[in-house]
Chains A and B, each alone.
Chain A
Amino acid sequence: MSTATVSVENIDGGPVLRLGGDLVTEALGAVEQSFARFTTKAPRLTIDLSNLTSLDTGGAWMIADLQARLHDAGVASELVGGSAERTALIETVSRARPHERGVEAPPSGFLPWLAGLGANTVDLFKAIVSLLNFVGLVLHRLAGTLVRPWRLRAISLVSQMQEIGLNAVPIVALMGFLIGIVLAFQGAVQLRQFGAEVFVVDLIAVSVLRELGILLTAIIVAGRSGSAFTASIGSMKVREEIDAMRTLGLDPIEVLVLPRVLALIVMLPILGLIANICALIGGGLMSWAELGISPGMFLTRFVDNTDVWHLGVGMIKAPFFAFIISIVGCWQALQVGGSSESVGQRTTQSVVQSIFLVIVVDAGFSIFFAEVGV
Chain B
Amino acid sequence: MKGNPGSPDAAKVTPAREAIIRVRGLHTAFGPQVVHDNLNLDVWKGEVLGIVGGSGTGKSVLLRTIVGLIRPVRGEIQVLGTDVINGPESDRRAVEKQWGVAFQDGALFSSLTVLQNVMAPMREHLRLSHGLMKALGELKISLVGLPPLSCGKFPSELSGGMRKRAALARALALDPKIVFLDEPTAGLDPIGAAAYDDLIGELQRSLGLTVFMVTHDLDSLYAICDRVAVLAEKRVLVEGPVDMMATVDHPWVQEYFTGPRARAATAAD
Interface residues of A (CB under 8 A from B): 24-26, 28-29, 32, 56-58, 61, 65, 85, 88-89, 92-93, 96-98, 100-103, 337-341
Contacts A29-B127, A32-B128, A103-B115 supplied; 9 other A-B pairs, CB < 8 Å = A24-B175, A25-B175, A57-B139, A57-B175, A61-B139, A92-B202, A92-B206, A98-B138, A103-B151
- Contact between A339 and B141 (Cβ–Cβ < 8 Å)? no
Chain B interface mostly helix, strand, loop or mixed? helix
- Contact between B111 and A102 (Cβ–Cβ < 8 Å)? no
CB distance from A200 to the nearest CB of B (A): 52
| B202 nearest CB neighbor, chain A only | A92
Q: Known A25-B174, A26-B125, A339-B154; judge A102-B139 contact (CB<8 A).
A: no
Chain B residues within an 8 Å CB radius of A340: 110-111
Q: Known A57-B207, A102-B141; judge A29-B129 contact (CB<8 A).
A: yes
Report how far A96 CA is from B128 CA in the complex, Å: 21
- Contact between B136 and A61 (Cβ–Cβ < 8 Å)? yes
- Contact between A100 and B148 (Cβ–Cβ < 8 Å)? yes
Interface residues of B (CB under 8 A from A): 97, 110-111, 113, 115, 122, 125-129, 132, 135-136, 138-143, 148-152, 154-157, 172, 174-175, 202, 206-208
- Contact between A56 and B110 (Cβ–Cβ < 8 Å)? no
Q: Known A25-B126, A57-B172, A57-B175; judge A98-B139 contact (CB<8 A).
A: yes
Pairs A–B under 8 Å by Cβ, sample size 30 = A25-B122, A25-B126, A25-B128, A25-B175, A26-B97, A26-B125, A29-B126, A29-B127, A56-B207, A57-B143, A57-B172, A57-B175, A58-B175, A85-B208, A92-B143, A96-B139, A96-B142, A96-B143, A98-B139, A98-B141, A102-B115, A102-B138, A102-B141, A102-B148, A102-B151, A102-B152, A337-B156, A339-B111, A339-B155, A340-B110
Report how far A61 CA is from B140 CA in the complex, Å: 10
- Contact between B132 and A97 (Cβ–Cβ < 8 Å)? no
- Contact between A93 and B143 (Cβ–Cβ < 8 Å)? yes
CB distance from A93 to the nearest CB of B (A): 7
- Contact between B149 and A102 (Cβ–Cβ < 8 Å)? yes
CB distance from B114 to the nearest CB of A (A): 9
Report how far A101 CA is from B142 CA in the complex, Å: 11
| A101 nearest CB neighbor, chain B only | B148
CB distance from A339 to the nearest CB of B (A): 3
- Contact between B110 and A26 (Cβ–Cβ < 8 Å)? no
- Contact between A26 and B126 (Cβ–Cβ < 8 Å)? yes
Report how far A28 CA is from B136 CA in the complex, Å: 11
Q: Which of B97, B132, B152, B156 contacts A32 (CB 8 A)?
A: B132
Chain A residues within an 8 Å CB radius of B172: 57
Chain B residues within an 8 Å CB radius of A89: 206-207
For A28, A58, A89, which residue has the most chain B Cβ atoms within 10 angstroms? A58
CB distance from A34 to the nearest CB of B (A): 13
CB distance from A102 to the nearest CB of B (A): 3
Q: How many A-B residue pairs have CB under 8 A?
A: 87
Q: Known A93-B143, A338-B154, A339-B111; judge A98-B127 contact (CB<8 A).
A: no
Chain B residues within an 8 Å CB radius of A97: 139, 142
- Contact between B151 and A93 (Cβ–Cβ < 8 Å)? no
| B97 nearest CB neighbor, chain A only | A26
| A30 nearest CB neighbor, chain B only | B127
- Contact between A98 and B175 (Cβ–Cβ < 8 Å)? no
Chain A residues within an 8 Å CB radius of B140: 57
| A97 nearest CB neighbor, chain B only | B139
- Contact between A65 and B135 (Cβ–Cβ < 8 Å)? yes
- Contact between A58 and B136 (Cβ–Cβ < 8 Å)? yes
Report how far A299 CA is from B111 CA in the complex, Å: 57
Q: Which of B111, B152, B206 contacts A341 (CB 8 A)?
A: B111
Chain B residues within an 8 Å CB radius of A102: 115, 138, 141, 148-152
Chain A residues within an 8 Å CB radius of B129: 29, 32
Chain B residues within an 8 Å CB radius of A339: 110-111, 154-156
Chain A residues within an 8 Å CB radius of B132: 28-29, 32
CB distance from A33 to the nearest CB of B (A): 9
Q: Known A24-B175, A29-B129, A57-B139; judge A338-B156 contact (CB<8 A).
A: yes
Report how far A56 CA is from B138 CA in the complex, Å: 15
Q: Which of B128, B141, B175, B202 contacts A56 (CB 8 A)?
A: B175
For A85, A338, A339, which residue has the most chain B Cβ atoms within 10 angstroms? A339
| B111 nearest CB neighbor, chain A only | A341
CB distance from B9 to the nearest CB of A (A): 31
Report how far A362 CA is from B115 CA in the complex, Å: 47
Report how far A245 CA is from B227 CA in the complex, Å: 43
Chain B residues within an 8 Å CB radius of A103: 113, 115, 151-152
| B146 nearest CB neighbor, chain A only | A102
| A85 nearest CB neighbor, chain B only | B208
Chain A residues within an 8 Å CB radius of B110: 338-341
CB distance from A249 to the nearest CB of B (A): 25
CB distance from B134 to the nearest CB of A (A): 8
